[in-house]
Amino acid sequence: MRNTTMTRYTKLLILTLSLCTIAAAAHSKTTIEWWQFWTDPAIAPTIDSLVREFEQQNPDIDVKVTNLTWANGHEKIVIGFASGSGPDVVELGSDWIAQFAANGHIADISEDVAEDSAAFQGWGMSTYEGRVYAAPWILGTRVLFINRDLLTQAGYDTSWLPVSLPQFYEAIARIDSLGRPDGIYGWGSNTAEKHRLYKKYMPFFWTYGAQLFTDDGEYCVISSTKAVDALKDYKWISDDYGYVANQRGIEDAFLDGRIGVILSGDWLLKRIEIEKRKINFATTLFPGPGYPGRSFMGGEFLAVNENTDHREEALKFIRFMTSPKNQIRFCKANRSSNPSSLEAQADPFFSEDINRLTFIKQIKLAKHPPVDPDWVYIEDEIERAVEDALFGQGLPATALHEAQIRITKIKEE
Amino acid sequence: MVRRRTLFGQVLHYGLLIVVLAVMVGPLVWMLRVSLLDKTVSLTAQNLLSASITVANFTDLFAQSDLARYLFNSAFVASVVTLGNILFCVMVGYVLARRQTWPSRILFATVVIVMMIPVHIVIIPLYLICLKGGIYDTYWALILPFLINPVGIFLAKQYIESIPPSMEEAARVDGASELRILFRIVMPLCKPAIAVLAVLAFITNWNSFLFPFILTSSEDLRTLPVALALLQGHQAIDWQHLMAGSTVAVLPVLVLFFVMQRQVVSGITAGGIKQ
Amino acid sequence: MKSRSLTAALFASPWTVSFILFWTFPLLYSFWMGFTDYQLLSRHAPQFVGFDNYRALLGDRDFIASLKNTFIFVGGTIPVTTVVSLVLALLVNREFRGRGFFRSAYFLPWVTSMVVVALIFTNLFERGGYVAMLAQMVGFEPPVNGFLYDRGTALYAIMAMDIWMAVGYYMLIFLAGLKAIPDELYEAAEIAGASSWRQFTSITLPMLRPVALFILVINSIKSFQVFVEIFVMTKGKFDTSTVVYFIYETGLQTQFKFGYASAAAYVLFVIIGVFSILQFALMRRRQAAW
């Protein structure tokens, strides 16, 4: 008897206590901090309304948004993590994930996202040593932008587009022969710009079948015959048909109708739309043997601070932002970005627009650099090799060979 | 030294002067012209000469970007730093000029040494000091380290030494406090030197790039030079707008220079150093 | 008396504090950092690594290249700047109508923000830009991709811009030097029948020597620290990286290797120090000789 009374009391006590806890929880709001990069007037209102909507759905969570800029956002994140004042949720470019994961600044979220793995693309970029450290949000790649008018002037059919490398090179050559005096160039070639130059070479590199490392990741093989051939051809079109400028300069010249073909990202679609540029252009997949070729992929990811006190809320927010519906909302507002959600990719917004569709298709056939905290150094070496071959005295083979030796040394350290 | 010149010599002289003038002022005129050019027009020589003038780039920038904010930041920081320089440099210069004790001499030696030390080599520790001191990315980081500057102290000290101390001594006999002597006697007597060091401090700080660039990261705290340098790499900025922003960054200093020309020149020839 | 010392100490305190906090401490701090593996992103505390950073710097081709570029920059700009500014000073020294106007106009580049100057010249140096057009006019074939996108011209283009910017300033200093030369010397020479050229070489030039040396010292201290123009115009590409740019890139960008960057800063510090001491010694010897 006594026992039962005890139990009853205990139960009552537990009930009361848990009720109290729930009530207390309902009253105390959790604030999570989110650092993100989308600030231009086209997209900022959408970010804002997404956050408001999340707060309405989760009355117990407040989201404090801090805007970062591309110019020094990375620096700010590093300082935030180093000084222990980092945000709960942070947007990271795919290049940065390994660095933060390896130094223990962002949380392993493998278990939390396990069920989503089939519904999203891009996990490869946020998986470091077998564990997932960030959720893919927005993906990006580069495709060919071709000036149709110049193509027609060079004698091609109005609907023709190159599907193989020889066709691609020939088209560049024929457009280029339309005349330098009038300022017509076949190809837009990037000058030495940090993080930009090598990204233009990599599609050639991968499409030619070259690899950075052996399959077991043990040895750097960046100076393989295929890689050298890719660099030779890249140098050839750059030297003979290339309008060499920075990314902005190339795009300006392309939009002014002075360049036949350039390799560019979805931001250019947005620019053409916003600036209402009248240019007769087409987008097409990077050509290759075994069409299409492999382009370069990167992306924007959402990660959770390893030291956050609000892990669940942070994950909830990430799920909300990356949900197919909200990805589409984001991409529509930004006009061109590519969602990581497969469901979102299938939306008519993408499938019914020929240019946006090119990007979605290319993303499925794009590669990304290895997730490696040393990637920043490796990238530097690749970039230097390309720079040497294109603008210095270096021969493609020797430049790549030197890069291989140095990358091997980096890996050994 | 008055010498007679031939007509030919004079023509040659003016010819040279004008050629140099074109080289020295040409780029600035180009900036001004491009800032007043319609943004849809390309920057060909013909357009620069014949296209009409518009202020749309300026109104665009003020309406669509935070230019007003950057302008405020530049003006605010440069003004506060200038005021600090006036107050502190004269204060320290006064002590160094009037006291012949050994601590004062050592202190003056540190001023001269620091004038010779390259500032850029302390960027990393200064960055860390601001970070750990909690002033990184605040106005304090833009102001505190620059409130006093050795060149200013040097100028003030040299000037005060040229004034006879009789007035201060008379005031001291009358029982005036040192603070009162500083503000009521020394400062007013130093007006010419103050004008010089104020103009130099203002121009230097207004144009300063490296320290504002590394000691802040928020867009809200950008000064004009930082904003312009970062704007340049931006996707959607054209030369017309960039040059409009540049004009805004240059104009106040040019006006100040023309108004205070004599002070600038005498400051430079006396102190000799501007960062 | 005691209270006067106290007031003096109080009045001097802004400098004392600033000297300790923003000069002495940073210099000692970065000296220490130069011997550690301090890296902002890393989780472990900085560890003492002896001379590792300095040894690594010697084998770092980026550092060696930036050192080389810095020397080219200093060695190339200083003589040209000095000579051109002297010529300008002579040009505006005599009495003529509009002298004040020309002086101020030549000085304008110096009061303009370096960022703005760098932006303007980025455009002027572009392919098909005004500098390319001028080059063609005098029969020089400009680089196809523009002056800043060519390893052979980028650094020199930036140096030319720096000279353009600095000559007005040094012209003013030379003018002050010219003013200080007593007129009697010229009058005596005139009476002795010396030609203008003779007067220039035997009076003007020797009398300007202290000013020229002064210019040499301050110009080299400034030039060794070239950074802003590199940041705005080339980001260190096309063989234009300088030591301060190297410090910025290794210390304050992606890597945040404070230890390594501090070591590089100290190397620069020592180089500038040695240069300044040499120049001062030279100045003193010359002065003693007169």
Q: Flag the least confident range among A16-20, A119-123, B153-157.
A: A16-20
Query: Residues 101-140, chain C: which have Cβ within 8 Å of B?
Result: 102, 104-124, 130, 133
Q: What is the pLDDT of residue A340?
A: 95
CA–CA distance, B275 with C20 (Å, rounded to integer): 20
- Domain with residue B200: its CATH number is 1.10.3720.10
CA–CA distance, C236 with C242 (Å, rounded to integer): 7
Residue C257 per-residue DSSP state: -
| Alpha-carbon distance B234 to nearest alpha carbon in chain C (angstroms) | 12
Q: Is B97 part of a structural domain of the chain?
A: yes
Of chain A, the percentage scoring pLDDT greater than 90 comes to 69
Contact in structure between B13 and C88 (CB atoms under 8 Å): no
Q: Is B72 part of a structural domain of the chain?
A: yes
Encode pLDDT of A299-311 as tens digits: 999 999 999 999 9
* Pairwise pLDDT comparison (A389 vs B3), residue with the higher score: A389
Query: Is C127 in contact with A75 (Cβ distance < 8 A)?
Result: no
Verify cis geometry, omega within 30 degrees of 0, for the bond prior to C26: no
Of chain C, the percentage scoring pLDDT greater than 70 comes to 97
- Residue B173: both structure tokens together: 């006999």
Pairing relation of β-strands A259-265 and A295-304? unpaired
A192 touches chain C (CB under 8 A): yes
CA–CA distance, A374 with B250 (Å, rounded to integer): 42
In this prediction, residue A183 has a pLDDT band, given cuts at 50, 70 and 90, of: confident
Q: What is the pLDDT of residue C277?
A: 86
Q: Does B121 share its domain with B169?
A: yes
C48 touches chain B (CB under 8 A): no
- Single-letter code of the amino acid located at B161: E
In this prediction, residue B9 has a pLDDT band, given cuts at 50, 70 and 90, of: confident
Number of domains in chain B: 2
Mutation to test the A interface, candidates C44, C123, C145, most A Cβ within 10 Å: C145
Q: What is the mean pLDDT of chain C?
A: 90
Encode pLDDT of A99-147 as tens digits: 999 989 999 999 999 888 899 999 999 999 999 999 999 999 999 999 9
B171 touches chain C (CB under 8 A): no
Encode pLDDT of A192-206 as tens digits: 888 889 999 999 999
Q: Per-residue pLDDT averaged across A19-24, rounded?
A: 55
Q: Does B117 share its domain with B97?
A: yes
Q: Does B189 share its domain with B249?
A: yes
Chains in contact with chain B (at least 3 beta-carbon pairs closer than 8 A): A, C
Chain C residues whose beta carbon lies within 8 Å of the beta carbon of residue A240: none
Report whether pLDDT(B50) > 90.
no
Report whether pLDDT(A264) > 90.
yes
Query: Which among A79, A194, A244 has the least Cβ separation from residue C145?
Result: A244
Q: What is the pLDDT of residue A19?
A: 57
ipTM of the predicted assembly exceeds 0.85: yes
In this prediction, residue B271 has a pLDDT band, given cuts at 50, 70 and 90, of: low
Q: What is the pLDDT of residue C290?
A: 42
Contact in structure between C175 and C93 (CB atoms under 8 Å): yes
Q: What is the pLDDT of residue C244?
A: 94
* Pairwise pLDDT comparison (C41 vs C208), residue with the higher score: C208
Mutation to test the B interface, candidates A43, A248, A273, A336, most B Cβ within 10 Å: A248
Q: Is B36 part of a structural domain of the chain?
A: yes
Mutation to test the C interface, candidates A72, A74, A78, most C Cβ within 10 Å: A78
* Pairwise pLDDT comparison (C127 vs B144), residue with the higher score: B144
Encode pLDDT of B84-102 as tens digits: 999 999 999 999 999 889 9
Q: Does B259 share its domain with B206?
A: yes
Q: What is the pLDDT of residue B225?
A: 94
Torsion over CA: A191, A192, A194, A199 (sign): positive
Query: Which among B64, B217, B230 has the least Cβ separation from residue A75?
Result: B217
Query: Is B131 in contact with A75 (Cβ distance < 8 A)?
Result: no
Q: Does B18 share its domain with B143?
A: no
Q: What is the pLDDT of residue C32?
A: 94
Contact in structure between C165 and C113 (CB atoms under 8 Å): no
Q: Does B51 share its domain with B165?
A: no
Domain with B33 in it: 7-57
Q: Under 8 Å CB-to-CB from B97, ≥6 apart: which residues?
A: B156, B157, B158, B160, B161
| Alpha-carbon distance B184 to nearest alpha carbon in chain C (angstroms) | 15
Q: What is the pLDDT of residue B1?
A: 43
Chain B residues whose beta carbon lies within 8 Å of the beta carbon of residue C111: 203, 207, 253-254, 257, 264
Q: Does B50 share its domain with B185?
A: no
Query: Residues 236-255, chain C: which have Cβ within 8 Å of B?
Result: 244, 247-248, 251-252
A311 touches chain C (CB under 8 A): no
Q: Does B52 share its domain with B73?
A: no
A71 touches chain B (CB under 8 A): yes
A391 touches chain C (CB under 8 A): yes
**Domain ranges within chain A, ordered by starting residue:** 29-140+298-367, 143-295+371-412
- Single-letter code of the amino acid located at A331: C
Query: Is C41 in contact with A78 (Cβ distance < 8 A)?
Result: yes
CATH T-level assignment (fold) for domain C36-289: MetI-like fold (1.10.3720)
Burial label, B3 (beta-carbon count in 10 A; 0-12, 13-18, 19+):
exposed
Domain A143-295+371-412 is found in CATH 3.40.50.1370: no
Q: Flag the least confident range among A56-65, A76-85, A398-407, C165-174.
A: A76-85
Q: What is the pLDDT of residue C83?
A: 96
| Alpha-carbon distance B43 to nearest alpha carbon in chain A (angstroms) | 13
Query: Is A103 in contact with C41 (Cβ distance < 8 A)?
Result: yes
- Residue B57: both structure tokens together: 């780039």
Report whether pLDDT(C4) > 90.
no
Q: What is the pLDDT of residue C281?
A: 82
Of chain A, the percentage scoring pLDDT greater than 70 comes to 93
Report whether pLDDT(C245) > 50.
yes
Encode pLDDT of C70-90 as tens digits: 999 999 999 999 999 999 999
Report whether pLDDT(B272) > 50.
no
Residue B119 per-residue DSSP state: G
Q: Does B137 share its domain with B42?
A: no
User: Taking each helix axis from N to C terminus, what angle separates B102-116 and B150-161, rounded to the nearest 10 degrees?
Assistant: 130
* Pairwise pLDDT comparison (B230 vs A224), residue with the higher score: A224
Encode pLDDT of C7-42 as tens digits: 889 999 999 999 999 999 999 999 999 999 998 877
* Pairwise pLDDT comparison (C285 vs B194), residue with the higher score: B194
A411 touches chain B (CB under 8 A): no
Q: Residue B232 belongs to what H/E stretch?
A: helix B224-232
Q: What is the mean pLDDT of chain B?
A: 88
Mutation to test the B interface, candidates A35, A37, A65, A69, most B Cβ within 10 Å: A69
Q: Does B17 share its domain with B130?
A: no
Does A143-295+371-412 match A29-140+298-367 at the fold level?
yes
In this prediction, residue A327 has a pLDDT band, given cuts at 50, 70 and 90, of: very high
Q: Does B30 share its domain with B152?
A: no
CA–CA distance, A317 with A305 (Å, rounded to integer): 13
Looking at chain A, which residue has its C-alpha nearest residue C128? Answer: A183
Query: Which among B43, B91, B121 has the least Cβ separation from residue C11?
Result: B91
CA–chain centroid gap for C132, Å, is: 26
Q: What's the number of CA atoms in the CB half-sphere (13 Å) around residue A271?
A: 16
* Pairwise pLDDT comparison (C82 vs C281), residue with the higher score: C82
Query: Is B126 in contact with C232 (Cβ distance < 8 A)?
Result: no
Q: Is B43 part of a structural domain of the chain?
A: yes
Report whether pLDDT(A24) > 70.
no
Encode pLDDT of B122-132 as tens digits: 888 998 899 88
For chain B, strand residue ranges (E) read: none
Of chain B, the percentage scoring pLDDT greater than 70 comes to 94
Alpha-carbon dihedral angle through residues B188, B194, B198, B201, given to the nearest 10 degrees: -140
Q: Does B116 share its domain with B228?
A: yes
Which one is the CATH code of A29-140+298-367: 3.40.190.10, 3.20.20.70, 3.90.120.10, 3.40.630.30?
Answer: 3.40.190.10
Mutation to test the A interface, candidates C39, C149, C248, C255, most A Cβ within 10 Å: C149
Chain B residues whose beta carbon lies within 8 Å of the beta carbon of residue C183: 1
Helices of type H across A216-353: 225-241, 247-255, 267-274, 311-322, 324-334, 342-345, 348-351
Q: What is the pLDDT of residue A344?
A: 94
Report whether pLDDT(C96) > 50.
yes
Q: Is B251 part of a structural domain of the chain?
A: yes
In terms of Cα–Cα distance, which of C42, C233, C247 is closest to C156?
A: C233
Q: What is the pLDDT of residue B274?
A: 35
Query: Is B92 in contact with C12 (Cβ distance < 8 A)?
Result: yes
Contact in structure between A131 and A102 (CB atoms under 8 Å): no
Q: Is B2 part of a structural domain of the chain?
A: no
